[in-house]
Amino acid sequence: MKQFSRTISVLPVQSIETACRWYADVLGLEVVYRHEGKQEGEETNYAVMTRDSVQVHLILDEPPPYGDTWTQAGTGYLYLRVYDIRAMYADVQARGIGFEHALETAIWGAEGFEIRDPGGNLVRIEGEM
C-alpha cells in the first residue's frame, strides 16, 4: 500500500519578498500562497511557490524564540530535476545569474549545475536521466 504522496522543500530565507521575486524571475515559479501577518506592518513570514509539479515553500529566517536552527537562511538545499537541462541552463545563464557550479556531468552521469538564491541556499538543477 502506498503511504506517501509527495515531498515539499521548505527553504529558509532572509526576505520572503526578495526570494519570491528571485524564484519567479530565475526559475519561473509562481506564488500561490503568502502568509500575511495579523498585525499591520508585520512581515510576510511564509510563502508557497509552484511550477509544473514542483512546490517550494519559503520560510522567513526569524530570531528566537520564533525561529529554529533549521530556519536560518543559507542552510537550505533544493534539488530539482528538469526535462531539458540545457534549455534551463541557457535560460538561467541569459538572466545573468552567477553559477556556483556551471553545467557539468556528475560522476553518476547526470548533467546539472548549481546556483544560490539570495538567502544563500544552494539550488542544484539536474536533467532527468
- Give the mean pLDDT of the chain: 92
Report how far residue 83's alpha carbon sits from residue 36's, in angstroms, rounded to the nearest whole number.
34
- Provide the domain limits for residue 64: 9-127
Asked, for residue 58, whether it belongs to a domain, the answer is yes
pLDDT of residue 41: 67
Question: pTM value?
Answer: 0.89
Q: What is the CATH number of the domain that holds 98?
A: 3.10.180.10
Tally of structural domains, the chain: 1
Is the pLDDT assigned to residue 69 strictly greater than 90? no
**Average pLDDT score over residue span 26-41:** 87
Do the Cβ atoms of 76 and 121 come closer than 8 Å? yes
Asked, for residue 16, whether it belongs to a domain, the answer is yes
Asked, for residue 2, whether it belongs to a domain, the answer is no
Asked, for residue 3, whether it belongs to a domain, the answer is no
Report how far residue 49's alpha carbon sits from residue 45's, in angstroms, rounded to the nearest whole number.
14
